Chains A and B, each alone.
Chain A
Amino acid sequence: MELTKLLELATTDVEPSPALLTQTRRGGQRRIRRRRASAGSLALVLALVGFAAPRALSRQGPDRVVFAGALFDGQTHGDLSSDATYRASVLQAWGASHATSLNAGRGIFEDMRGQAKVVWAGTTPAGPAAVVSQDAFLHHHADISLEHEGVYQLLGFVGPGADGQPTVVADTYPAPGVQSDIAWYVDSGRHVVAALDTGKPLGISFGWVYGKDGSVSRTYAPMSQHDGVALFELPPGTVPGLSVHLGLLPVTSPDDVRGVLGGVVDTRPAMKRLDWINPGGQGETVMPLGGSWQADAGQLRARFNAAVRAHQSGGTPFSEGFSLWYAYGTTPSGRQVVVGEHQLEEDPSHLYAVLGTGSGQVFVPGGEVDPASPLPVAIRLPDSDGWIVASFERTLEYRIGTGAWIRAGRDAALVPDASTAVRVTGNSQIVVPLTH
């Protein structure tokens, strides 16, 4: 047999996941969205929501790409549409905002075409707000992703500035296949969210809710419609988190989620929560706990993710979460167990154990993970099946009461249910009590 045929034979069973295309597109759109809303001093002020491009765009001829929707019918909408003074001040603010825009470095304002027009002007709980539209010829640029050079519709989102005068808080362009930013915080205090009306009821959600039973969900509050723009005023005292979702009501699946606010936030600190166990590594770290069960990363990932997602509702258009490590083994009662750390968007990661298989499977939530702890992982299994503890590149010992320390392993270990403390030894030695 030739080497070529040997290599072919060795890969016969290797098939891509049916979800690869969907996952890749979501991930790619997220990368673009983050790149466009690049980090900078203004990034925390701007908080944009992206909507799936095919729903937000329409094409007028081969060279003009525009936003789609009732708002773009040539008229000015909103209860301030007849206020010529306000419209004029909005247009003046638009023209003056380009030099300081995050998108200025991408050259989108260098070849403006036609006149700017206010397409919506209305009253919001935070004060008057507006949407401005103007065409520009976009050229290829090192930091802009275009399907082709040509005329694109630019949008400017306007709110009342600190001095009450119209201020452009964000601008965007409709790159095909890219999340288009079509919602914004009207005020710098983030009390009012505005979004371009999609023609269907929109809801807004301010974060994941983690139940004690391991469930993870979101609730969506309806936004009010105002002649082309949907508005929502945050209840007093509400502090918007890092992942605010907009969705088409009722939101029953990830496909209903139309945008995630918070993409301008650098996620690296959050990623460290997952990375603590293998800093700088690629792929997943697998830590066997002992027992007869032998599994690889793919098997562990599949079992862990299926269990976590079965307890998750609401969805996210970008990432369904993942773990970068798994500890697994067989418990004293003979059940297989997998432990991992799951993170949704920018939220703190959570620890979960999946015990047993099939109809007898038990899902055990372990709470938030603190990577700075000397023992970041300590999850107690039900039915006295023990504790799974982990601290990467540390030696682990346990004891029961005042008994002798018993070596349990390195990196991760399954220790008896009656254990009362774990001693973690690296450069130093720390005793961590196990709270029953």
Chain B
Amino acid sequence: MARDEGFDVFVLGASRRLLRTAFLLVGDRGTAEDLLQDVLERMYARWSRIDDPHAYARRAIAHAATNRWRTRRRHAEVPLGERDAAAGTEPESACRDVLAALATLPPGQRAVVILRFFDDLSIDQTAAALGCSTGTVKSQTARALPRLRALLAFAEEPC
């Protein structure tokens, strides 16, 4: 398959999921869009050398989001407890609550939670995506879930 064709198929098929992952990681739609476009442009430039585009994209997005957290602290995060009394539709309300809860997590824990429970990656896949050990993934998960559970009402899931 030619470069453009293969790349197009990948972008059209995967961009929605990748954008949503980026959105959860950075908590801002515009930033998530910019981050995804930046990652995809870099992938296009080296498309012939990428074996697993999905894994590559997830890893790049997670790293870019982590770098962003390290280099930029001016981004306004949504404080808990400041929900609009006239909350909107269910998805909007859920979005606000979930982003606020994720924002309380350290970057590493946030990334682990999103890759494991949103992208449905295994412990091994999450470790590979974040460039850390499986033990780190387990410990970050164990620390993150109680905190999220205190802020969001959700059922137990196997770790």
Contacts and interface: CB of A to CB of B under 8 A. Distances in A.
Interface stretch (A2-10, A224-232, A255-263): A2-10
Contact of B44 (A2, A12, A29, A148): A29
A284 interface: yes
A284 B30 contact: yes
B19 A14 contact: yes
Contacts of B26: 283
A3 B94 contact: no
A297 B29 CA distance: 8
B45 interface: yes
Nearest to A1: B154
Contacts of B47: 145, 177
B83 interface: no
Contact of A21 (B11, B28, B74): B11
A25 interface: yes
B37 A8 contact: no
A282 interface: yes
B139 interface: no
A297 B28 contact: yes
Contacts of A23: 37
B30 A283 contact: yes
A280 B120 CA distance: 33
Contacts of A280: 71-72
Most buried by B among A7, A9, A298: A7
B62 interface: no
Given A3-B152, A147-B2, A177-B7, A20 B37 contact: yes
A146 interface: yes
Interface in B5-58: 7-8, 11-12, 15-16, 19-20, 23-24, 26, 28-37, 40-49
B30 A7 contact: no
Contacts of B92: 13
Given A3-B154, A16-B15, A16-B36, A54 B98 contact: no
B24 A24 contact: no
Interface in A262-320: 278, 280-285, 296-298, 301
B155 A32 contact: no
Interface in A60-119: none
B120 A6 contact: no
A10 B46 contact: no
A35 interface: yes
B153 interface: yes
Contact of B91 (A13, A24, A54): A13
Nearest to B65: A282
B136 to A, nearest CB: 20
B152 to A, nearest CB: 6
Contacts of B20: 11, 14
Nearest to A25: B44
Nearest to B15: A16
A148 B48 contact: yes
Chain B interface main SS type: helix
B152 A6 contact: yes
A25 B4 contact: yes
A53 B7 CA distance: 15
A235 B83 CA distance: 64
Interface in B89-112: 90-92, 94-95, 97-99
Interface centre among A1, A13, A28, A147 (most CB of B within 10 A): A28
B153 A1 contact: yes
A283 B29 contact: no
Given A16-B15, A16-B36, A296-B29, A2 B71 contact: no
Contact of B8 (A21, A27, A140, A176): A21
Contacts of B71: 280-282
A17 interface: yes
B74 A285 contact: yes
B3 interface: yes
B79 to A, nearest CB: 15
Contacts of A3: 113, 117, 145, 148, 152, 154-155, 157
Interface in A171-200: 176-177
Contacts of A32: 44-45
Contacts of A285: 74
B90 to A, nearest CB: 7
A4 B94 CA distance: 12
A31 interface: yes
Given A1-B153, A11-B23, A28 B41 contact: yes
Given A27-B44, A177-B3, 10 more contacts: A4-B117, A11-B20, A21-B8, A28-B7, A28-B43, A140-B49, A147-B3, A281-B71, A283-B26, A284-B34
16 contacts: A3-B113, A10-B99, A12-B95, A21-B15, A25-B4, A25-B7, A28-B45, A147-B2, A280-B72, A281-B71, A282-B72, A283-B34, A283-B68, A283-B72, A283-B75, A284-B31
